[in-house]
Structure 1
Amino acid sequence: MKDISPGRLDLGVGELAVGVSQTSPKIQRVLIILHGRLRNAETYRQSVEKAAAQAGQSASTLVIAPQFLNESDITRHQLADSVLRWRGNEWMAGDLSTGPQALSAYAVLDRLLTRLSNRREYPTLKEVVIAGHSGGGQVVQRFALLGDDQPALRQAGVKVRYVIANPSSYTYFDRQRRVSVDRKKCPDFNDWKDGLDKLPAYAKGQTVQSLEQRYIERDITYLLGQLDTNAIQPALDKTCAALAQGPSRQERGLNCFNYLTQRHPQGLKQHLVQVPGVGHNGDKMFTSPQGQQALFRW
């Protein structure tokens, strides 16, 4: 990670580093784009801004790119103590920040969404799209599962959608997997984030049944690169828990979607879209015709 996002969003317990596109009085859509392990928020902000321009949606779309910094980023770039930071990549699992106060990365998104429900600040807002690629796609999938039901946005008449692109793994609702698991060699295969055992503190008080019911009611697009099939790609999660979902990101996505449709034959408010000719490349995924359609539904 080389670029620190220039903006700061005061969340009451600390400041979130953030990149924001140029605002417009005609904003109808806010697109929250989540980076992955590289924490390259500005790279993703630029990609989805390009996608918005190509789709003719720039004037009506505000792009917000949160940046979940870790402790080494704060030290290396001599950032103020008021900037929120996490230990390593623990933010991806919804763990608590290490400073200046403890806040789950998912609670950060909750607070951002609550702010977007302010009709005086966003009077023409119609929808919020939460999107991510790779590690960011993992965060979107887990947040769609555990995240608040956003009553403030619902009361304001604002729809929330999710776009999950090429994540390394998904959370399952039971112990069924595409690949059989040797539980002696992989005893934690169903722990969070691959399953619902040992949920984080953010999920306190929620049941597996309520989480699944709420998740299947979400408006979710699973966006898969047809060429994201490299089973030895360096950033691919190769833990035994992840390998139980399939050998590659593309197959893991297909397997998870099939799993969901089998569990809920009555139908889902979700669909899977494959992007031809694209592998593990966030810019090409979001700027493709399929990516633009998923993000903007113009």
Structure 2
Amino acid sequence: MTRTREIDRIVAEALDEDAPWGDLTSETLIPRTATATAELVAREPGVLSGVEVFAAAFRLTDPRIVVERLAADGDPFDAGAVLARVQGPARGILTAERVALNLLQRMSGVATLTAGYVAAVAGTRARIVDTRKTTPGLRSLERQAVRDGGGSNHRRSLSDAVMAKDNHLAVLTADGRDLTEALRVARDRMPHTAHLEVEVDRLDQIDAVLAGGADTIMLDNFSTDDLREGVSRIAGRAVVEASGGVSLDTVGEIASTGVDVISVGALTHSARALDLGLDVVIDAGRPEPARPALQTTAEAIP
């Protein structure tokens, strides 16, 4: 799970952006003493991610607000499910609502999409992983959402591994350097704990990359026939990663070639925010009326 301190930093920045000088509407319209209860309701089915982030938005706005969590990160849910209940000062709830929902909807959308990819490769050896194609400032949250959806994380940043991609190889080639020797030099310069990954876009590059000591070889935009051939040539001497042209329609066939990892940029750069709503259901100052557990109609505060 993303660290509390990091969550608080991200959420605090979002709250400052949304209400830099306070919530003018709530402060002028809602009595200071007003309290409210609101429910987090799913408008569509999905996988939940970001419960801590959702709760942090209310806690940082007004520590008197209590968030009751009725589902946990990674839980699947149906449309109409009540996922959390929020109680406390009405002004604070209304002020934090949009930030809490924006982040939760984004994370749950990533988790839901990831779960679809994971399901599509079930029964194969392939692991679904994310990429660095994340929303600036939200990488840690989106990486958590991938994990909540059943996927795994690739490197977090440029500082975490040596990963030679096509443009790195193009620079080396332009300088007339031998690829195998360049990788061996890089290996000598690396910390002994670091990982070396190399992207190739042709089968005839594989032998040179293996000779250079790559730990992982990424087969980029290969046909399924070439992926099978690549897996056969590498023969367990390196982790085989497939990337490029991956969609829900193609990922199952890609996984069937025997690759170890499938990296999917779409998990984070193309996930749709899930439709989740926060409905005020009752004034906390009066008894709660009987109502169906999954009712989603909002009720105004009198």
Fold match by TM threshold 0.5: no
Return the index of the structure with the highest Cα Rg.
2
- Which structure dedicates a bigger proportion of its chain to helix? 2
TM-score by length of 1: 0.28
TM-score by length of 2: 0.28
